[in-house]
Amino acid sequence: MQSQIHHSTVSINDTLWGVPKAVSGCTVCKNDAASVIICEEGHKICATCFEEDFDKLSTCPECRAKLADRDIARYTKKGGLLTLNNTRFYCMSEKCGWSGGYNELEAHKKLCSQKLLDCDYGCGERTSGQELDRHKQQCRKRPYKEGNLAADYETVMEAKRLRDECLKVEGDPSTTQSNPELTGRLVRLYPLVLNAALKEGSKASQPTSLSVTNIPCHSPCGFIASNLSELSSHFSDCPYISLPCRHCTLLVERRDLSDHEERCDRRPVSCTYCESSLLQGEMTQHFQDCISYPVNCVLCNNDLARSTLKEHQATACPQRSVECDRCFEATTAAELDTHKQGCQFMQKIILPASSANAAVTLVPQPNSTGPVYQPEDCSGDSSVIYLALPHKKFQDVMRRKKRDGDERANTSFFHSRYEITCTYAESPSNITSFVNYHNIWRLGIEQPDETRKHRFVWTNMDVLDTQNQKVAHLVQYYPASGSEGGVKICIGSNFNHSVGHLKTIDEQEAKVLSHEFPSDLMLIRIRHDKNKK
């Protein structure tokens, strides 16, 4: 049957398979396909014999040439097995027509052995495809010819038995009494005619196969072969023949096999995004955890790898929420530059001359965080800085404190994860501002010991009006010795920080609450008294 498809056969685990001429059997075990090159002539043995018997060989068992180096031979093993897997092996079982790679043989052998086929000679027997050839060689209805008599084996044997019985009757007179003449002629003539047909004893008597015509394909394709050879060729192309899927071994008609294998859940695939190897049926679940799978950033609506989403939203997303480092108002990263151009704490502030102070133009202090200003012409001198606060917000907080009498919590003016940082008295400084449970407003300045330039920094904290005049000043709640009643606040001595308070028990609060300033800001001038040591 397979003569139209392959050129030779190879025995693998005691089963014959049709193979192309290029595939050879192992010369050592004679029961597997050769895959490992062991000599310069290119002769091969199977992978099993290479691992178990290579070291026992002295020369190539086929050409007696010197063996190749073991590592070199092992290097050819993987390529040899890959070649066998890509080679078409053909099933030799009757009516099968299956072909597949070396790695699929055992699975097909098991399936093929379980499939029962009807005997073509009409004896009524059903057997597996692998046993069908053996059965047909012994079938009682197999085609048989002996001499000039051609029939099935059972008929020829019956004729021969009948001949022997007639010969026995010829010598029995009891059978001839009813019609002695007819019986005599029959028993004498029949054996002579039969002997002439059978030519018994002729050396030329050999069983031969009979030709069979009009054989229909057992599938629904409707094909009718004129001989067995034509039927065998048809099996290689019949769209209704069931073949096993390469991945799940499910039997599928040839016409649907390609589509099935493309969609098969057991098909090995690689993830498009992370290149992990898995089965197609596992892909949906894999996408739920794949670190490279594209996910949507809900902020900017862009797709990016899952593993980078968190960092993207924290540091790179143009729509992530950020705070202006001057006013601490929330905006997006994409709009931050535009926001800063209009931010009230990025603009100059011009204070007119007063009876006590000369006119001054304030600019945002470079490299500071928060609403910190310095005189435009200070030439880097940081002994005088200004803190700009929203005046209306200050009023609202203080009035709510008085109205509600809330003494349970502090209220900060800077709702941000940032502190106000600046340079004051030549030292890096931090500023805090809040209303505490004593119902007084506090402003604190801290200078870490390791960066403070002066051992003592005596500070005046003054609230200015629209005419650049003081309307209030902050005093130390618990004045230190030598602090002039707490008006000058000292950073140093036993502490690296100081806190100034705006008292709420006198008219100072009323002055600040009624104070109006251009652009709705309240200015706190923080001034270092260099003369006081």
Contact 84, 101 (CB under 8 A): yes
Average pLDDT over residues 84-104: 84
188 CB neighbour count, 10 Å cutoff: 12
Least confident of 58-72, 335-349, 368-382, 438-452: 438-452
How far apart are the C-alpha atoms of 425 and 374, rounded to whole Å? 12
Residue 317 pLDDT level (bands cut at 50, 70, 90): very high
Domain annotation for the chain: domains and CATH numbers:
2-119 (3.30.40), 134-235 (no CATH), 267-319 (3.30.40.10), 344-528 (no CATH)
Q: Is the pTM of this model over 0.85?
A: no
Residue with tokens 């950033």: 297
- What is the per-residue pLDDT for 173? 57
How far apart are the C-alpha atoms of 14 and 91, rounded to whole Å? 13
CA neighbor of 386 nearest in space, from 461, 450, 333 = 461
How far apart are the C-alpha atoms of 333 and 172, rounded to whole Å? 124
Report the SS3 class of residue 532.
coil
Report the SS3 class of residue 520.
helix
How far apart are the C-alpha atoms of 164 and 431, rounded to whole Å? 130
Tens digits of residue pLDDT in 268-304: 989 989 888 889 998 889 999 899 999 999 999 999 9
Report the SS3 class of residue 180.
helix
How far apart are the C-alpha atoms of 369 and 430, rounded to whole Å? 9
CA 331 → CA 323, 340, 414, distances in Å?
Answer: 6, 10, 16
Residue 203 pLDDT level (bands cut at 50, 70, 90): very low
CA neighbor of 35 nearest in space, from 88, 90, 73 = 73
Report the SS3 class of residue 471.
strand
Residue 130 pLDDT level (bands cut at 50, 70, 90): low
Continuous segment of H or E residues that includes residue 363: strand 360-364
Average pLDDT over residues 24-29: 90
